[in-house]
Amino acid sequence: MSAGSPLDELLEQAAAAWPGVAVPRADFLAYLAERLPPDRTIEEAAPSLPLVDLHLACACARSEPGAIEAFDAAYRDEIDRAFARVRPRGLTVDDARQVVRQKLFVGAGERGPRIGDYAGRGALRAWVRMTAIRTLIDLAREHGDRAHDVPLDDVLSFEGTGGDTPDRALLVGQCRAELRPAFEEAVAELTPRQRNLLRQHFLHALSIDQLAGLYGAHRSTCARWLDAAREKLVRGTRRRLAARLGVPPGELDEIMQLVASRLDITFRRVLGDPMSAGP
């Protein structure tokens, strides 16, 4: 890669978008490499990546000076919008900001900061919005607040689903019609243990510690099992939804972020019926 190459220019533009937030070039390239498909080089993938977003995410993950302040200035409004839709009892908007920032930049338990999960498969703004919504829904559910339950078919009714062009609005409408069967088919692909884990966690509100006791496993093992089941369900829904709509799966990434953010609530609408009971 020579000086003045197209990649150089893209990296310079990404850095220039965040004045005063510096990330060493070698570290940013390593960060990007970890998030690329295995069959693509950075030079090949860079033109289609949201490098401006990834640069800030990388800086926040590395706790670079000024990074979190820049993030707050750019994206705090997304947390406020999430709070306007999901208001866990007893929380103020300042509380909500603090809870979401804690999850994004500090993490909890054995999970590291969630900002490291951002892989550039959609806009950072949409990813922040989905993360904030999911965090607040989790918090509401922990306090027994079911006021934010919605039918599965209404998952895509939230603002910010990308329906700001005729083509995008059409895609969202088609997804709304096909989401339930795609979701149900993806559920059927899960193993019995994965279905039970998700049912026990989402339908019966069992905590990780309670699941660990039920399955006789370490809590970190149960957490990995649960994450793997959730990821398989979302991935399977994306694949089947893309096949039903005849579009590349990548076109559904932002929509599937929204589905994943509502998974804790919408799962109950599909798996409310009894299924195999034993672990």
pLDDT tens string 201-237: 877 778 888 999 999 999 899 999 998 998 898 889 8
Is 79 inside any structural domain? yes
Residue 18, pLDDT score:
96
72 plus 184 within the same structural domain: no
183 plus 256 within the same structural domain: yes
Question: Domain boundary residue among 92, 108, 142?
Answer: 142
80 plus 182 within the same structural domain: no
CB-CB contact of 154 with 148 (8 Å) = no
Q: What is the mean pLDDT of residues 159-167?
A: 45
Helix, strand, coil percentages (3-state) for the chain, rounded to 5, are 70, 0, 30
Is 105 inside any structural domain? yes
Cα 84-88-91 angle, rounded to 5 deg: 85
Residue 134, pLDDT score:
75
Assign 123 a pLDDT band (cuts: 50, 70, 90).
confident
* Upper half-sphere CA count for residue 48 (Cβ side, 13 Å): 11
How many CB atoms are located within 10 Å of the residue 142 CB? 11
Is 279 inside any structural domain? no
CB-CB contact of 180 with 270 (8 Å) = yes
Dihedral-angle region of residue 246 (phi above 0 means left; psi in -120 to 50 means alpha; beta otherwise): left
Q: Which of 225, 247, 264, 224 is nearest to 109 (CA)?
A: 224
Question: Domain boundary residue among 142, 176, 209?
Answer: 142
Residue 84 has pLDDT above 70, yes or no: yes
162 plus 257 within the same structural domain: yes
Residue 60 has pLDDT above 90, yes or no: yes
135 plus 45 within the same structural domain: yes
Q: What is the CA radius of gyration of the chain?
A: 20
CB-CB contact of 211 with 201 (8 Å) = yes
CB-CB contact of 90 with 40 (8 Å) = no
Residue 71, pLDDT score:
96
Length of the chain: 279
Assign 273 a pLDDT band (cuts: 50, 70, 90).
very low
261 plus 179 within the same structural domain: yes
Residue 42, pLDDT score:
86
Is 278 inside any structural domain? no
Q: What is the mean pLDDT of residues 136-140?
A: 78
Q: What is the mean pLDDT of the chain?
A: 79
- The region of weakest confidence among 148-157, 213-222, 253-262 is 148-157
Residue 159 has pLDDT above 60, yes or no: no
Q: List pLDDT tens digits, range 16-44.
A: 999 989 999 999 999 999 888 777 888 88
Q: Which residues of 76-97 are buried (b: 16+ CB within 10 A; e: fewer)?
A: bebbebbbeebbbeebeeeebb
Is 97 inside any structural domain? yes
Q: Which residue has the tokens 């991935």?
A: 235
128 plus 158 within the same structural domain: no
Residue 169, pLDDT score:
58
Is 68 inside any structural domain? yes
Question: Domain boundary residue among 79, 112, 142?
Answer: 142
105 plus 185 within the same structural domain: no
Give how many domains the chain has, as a whole number: 2
Which residue range forms the structural domain that includes residue 230? 153-270
